[in-house]
Structure 1
Amino acid sequence: MKKPLLALLLLGMSAGAASAQVEIGLKLSPSVTHLRADSPTGQNFQSEKSKVSLGGGLVVDYFFGQNYAFSTGLFLTGKGGTIAYLDQTSPTNTALVVRKQKIGLQYLEIPVTVKLFTNDIATDTKLYFQLGGSVGGLIGGRIDGGKRITDPSTGQETEAVKHFIIPDAAALIGAGVEYQLGQNTKVFTGLSYHRGLVNIDKYFDKSRGFQSASLKNDEVALDLGLKF
């Protein structure tokens, strides 16, 4: 009895492996990013300017149906933007002044998404829709172009990267077009929106006492890729 069951299990596993298809490729994603800033009215935290960034990395699409794939990979992503806020003029002068910070952050990210493909809308051409999220870890950061910053309101110098927590997460939605160039080669282009879910600030709230200060990443990316 055990041998027929084992044979049936192995047959099912081999059939699943035969029907599954993995496509691996590379992606380049120029993007426009900004920081969603929020705080009580007195601190007037707000997003001031967006930032042009560049990211890219490895794409892995694991098909579990003809038109359905689990899509993941490993990407190096740039994020950030310019924020403005009210702060005291100096350690000895409590008069308020508007300050700005130009923030640049780098993350390693892993997307966890599903891609849905249409049938061919033209010869060897399909539309795809992508939905899911991503998780990432901060690997580098600069404020006003420097790795260290001196806060003019306190006179204290700190590392820029220590102003932010390491983990980040985002919701992801996207759409695009994929074209089959040859038997195993495909190119794709699309747009994706990445909405940050995590407050990445740990300086203004904890070190400066700006209660309920919040910074969240936002990104709109142009996705250009090649799969082999």
Structure 2
Amino acid sequence: MKKLLLPLLALAATIGTASAQVEIGLKISPAITSLRAESTSTNAFSSDGSQFGFGGGLVVDYFFGENYAFSTGLLLTGKGGTINYNDVTNDAIQQPIGVKLPITTQYLELPLTVKLFTNEIASATRIYFQVGGSLNVPIGTRISKNKFYVDPATATENKASDYVYFIDADALAGAGVEYQLGKSTKVFAGLSYHRGLVDIDHYFESKRDFKDVTIKNSGVALDLGIKF
């Protein structure tokens, strides 16, 4: 991740030149998200379905050339999915159980990306490609739509936020079309893929002593926006 961020930050440092152009706008991003879960065969963590997420917020494009921009902003995004795993009850019987865990987390997201634009492919229309990453901080988590969750194996109630690590980071790749409506107004539409790089498990290994559990976010978003 450091190798990815350093070039992006270097590009951001060039923005302060007099020739730089800044475009600010808003976007919404409905998405299909899921959790990639893995572990040893003892607990057999696996993904068990996706969910609908929704994001949106401020986008800022700093152009350091006619066809090149450093793109950032501040977004509120919803991520999550359902995972399955095997456990045993914490009693004298030690009964095996299968657990299905739907996790939904809302993140405050800071994109750190580069956008590459083609020349006009039609009147006032350009294609763009976006690559980079994002830093994401969880601001709210629910399990089975509740802020608190009772572990079925231990019968202990925990905050849903205790299950999720305090930071996440994504690799991001996308493409879309931008159309100029007027002198300074543009609209855009595209698709983006977000692949989580950080293991967000903050419960099973640290509090349950499970071995080699990995849970990461993934998602595909439809990006719709306007710049002024």
- TM surpasses 0.5: yes
Confirm whether residue 182 of structure 1 aligns to residue 182 of structure 2: yes
1:209 Cα deviation after fit: 1.0
Counterpart Cα distance in 2 of 1:42 and 1:30: 36
Greater radius of gyration (CA)? 1
Counterpart Cα distance in 2 of 1:94 and 1:204: 18
CA deviations on 1:186-212 (whole Å, 9 max, x unpaired) are 000000001000000010111111111
CA deviations on 1:76-120 (whole Å, 9 max, x unpaired) are 000000000001145333121211011000000100000000000
Counterpart Cα distance in 2 of 1:224 and 1:147: 30
Query: What do you get for the CA RMSD once the two structures are aligned?
Result: 1.3
Query: How many residues end up aligned between the 2 structures?
Result: 214
Tell me, yes or no, if the aligned pair for 1:90 and 1:152 is still in contact at 8 Å: no
Which one-letter code corresponds to 1:120 in the other structure? E
Counterpart Cα distance in 2 of 1:34 and 1:91: 32
Name structure 1 gaps, 5 residues minimum: 1-12
Counterpart Cα distance in 2 of 1:150 and 1:134: 32
3-state DSSP of counterpart to 1:58 = strand
Structure 2 equivalent of residue 121 of structure 1: 121
1:9-88 equivalent positions in 2, closer than 5 A: 16-17=17-18, 19-88=19-88
Structure 1 equivalent of residue 203 of structure 2: 203
Name structure 2 gaps, 5 residues minimum: 1-13
Tell me, yes or no, if the aligned pair for 2:89 and 2:154 is still in contact at 8 Å: no
Does the C-alpha gap of structure 1 residues 37 and 81 become closer, same or farther in structure 2, counting only changes over 3 Å? same
Counterpart Cα distance in 2 of 1:192 and 1:73: 15
Counterpart Cα distance in 2 of 1:84 and 1:34: 12
Which one-letter code corresponds to 1:146 in the other structure? N
Counterpart Cα distance in 1 of 2:152 and 2:98: 12
CA deviations on 1:151-206 (whole Å, 9 max, x unpaired) are 11101111000111111001000000000000010000000001000000010111
1:134-153 equivalent positions in 2, closer than 5 A: 134-153=134-153
Structure 1 equivalent of residue 101 of structure 2: 101
3-state DSSP of counterpart to 2:115 = strand
Identity of aligned residues (%): 58
Tell me, yes or no, if the aligned pair for 1:33 and 1:81 is still in contact at 8 Å: yes
Which one-letter code corresponds to 1:80 in the other structure? G
